[in-house]
Amino acid sequence: MVYKLITQTPICEGLDYLIEEGNKDKPANIYVSGVYMVAEEKNRNNRIYSREEMAREVERYNEEFVRTNRALGELEHPNSANVSSERACHLITELRMDGNVVKGKSKVLRTPLGEIMRSLVMDGVKMGMSSRALGTVEDKGGTNFVTNMKLITVDAVADPSAPGAFVNGILESKNFIIKQDGRYEEIYDMLESKLSSLPKKDVDLYLREHIIRFINNLK
């Protein structure tokens, strides 16, 4: 099965900022909290996520990442299905279903990009939270329904002035498969990159050896 990398228009309404008191020995911590995802409602990207799948993914994400202090989010969406520690700006410390919405809380990190987020928050910039997930998209009557959702993380993004102008359609041209061990693997891009780097005399040999494996990955 082929999965799309799906990002969501930033959710910024109702985000709260909490600044813990610090001192010379312990710098102040900054937390952001609010609505991180919404189910059963068409978003500004014309997509609907089912509550059942979203609740299942929240539970899995909590078990695998939040409770083990590995729930890193990046500053702006990268062109990848993997989370980079070098680009991390916040650590998700809470994630829970509340009706059809997912509420979360994150600690702003002291990484280079975390410091940028910290400065933006302290200067009054309105940040948004935007989910990054793998899934399949099915068009039903002009509305895209997301199924087989696999939550990667929730990224911190700047809120655009025009609704839907920031992530509408971004990254949806990239295709992935989920291997049996749970890892994500790009397919078409990997094949195209490999072919473009080979000498012409080696292309036919490469195709004979790998095209069957490539096709099997799509099943």
Residues forming the active site: 77, 130
| Sheet with 88-98, edge to edge strand ranges | 16-19, 30-38, 101-108, 88-98, 72-74
Task: Check if the beta carbon of residue 4 is closer than 8 Å to that of residue 134.
Answer: yes
CA distance 219 to 208: 19
For 139, list phi and psi in degrees, rounded to 5: -85, 120
**Strand order in 175-178's β-sheet?**
47-49, 143-158, 127-140, 3-7, 175-178, 184-186
> In 10 A of CB 79, how many CB atoms?
9
**Residue 217: how many other CB atoms lie within 10 Å:** 15
CA-CA-CA-CA torsion sign (41, 45, 48, 52): negative
User: What is d(CA 130, CA 132) in angstroms, rounded to the nearest whole number?
Assistant: 7
Q: β-pairing, 143-158 with 47-49? A: parallel
